């Protein structure tokens, strides 16, 4: 029942992760981390997976935390689109006056 309701409302799978690469045109690589118990030892371990996502405007940069949404297949690897940039990465920039080399 709940599955039919979700399908009729058009709810799509969403994930939140960090951009690890934005070198391709209109494509970003997002790494999603999750913490799960080990099947045998029950110790909490971190698992991570990379997803290729479509970024039409090229707004996401490496280090940004983004939300991606599932969509139809766009290429061999791309099945996600960028929904929003949740948090921008800290941009570290040095001023020319700070770089006085003597």
Residues of the chain with pLDDT > 70, as a percent, come to: 81
pLDDT tens digits, one per residue of 70-100: 999 999 999 999 999 999 998 877 666 666 6
Q: How confident is the model at residue 9 (pLDDT cuts 50, 70, 90)?
A: low
pLDDT tens digits, one per residue of 22-51: 999 999 999 999 999 999 999 999 999 999
Residues of the chain with pLDDT > 90, as a percent, come to: 75
Contacts of 35 (CB under 8 A, 6+ apart): 44, 45, 46, 47
Quick one: CATH architecture of 12-89?
Beta Barrel (2.40)
pTM of the model: 0.79
Q: Which residue do the tokens 């039919």 mark?
A: 4
């Amino acid at each position: 029942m709940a599955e039919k309701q979700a399908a009729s409302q058009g709810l799509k799978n969403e994930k939140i992760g960090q951009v690890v690469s934005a070198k391709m045109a209109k494509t970003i690589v997002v790494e999603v981390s999750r913490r799960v118990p080990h099947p045998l030892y029950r110790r909490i371990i971190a698992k991570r997976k990379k997803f290729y996502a479509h970024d039409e405007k090229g707004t996401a940069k490496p280090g940004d935390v983004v939300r991606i949404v599932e969509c139809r297949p766009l290429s061999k690897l791309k099945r996600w689109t960028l929904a929003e940039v949740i948090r921008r990465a800290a941009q570290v920039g040095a001023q020319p006056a700070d770089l006085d080399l003597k």
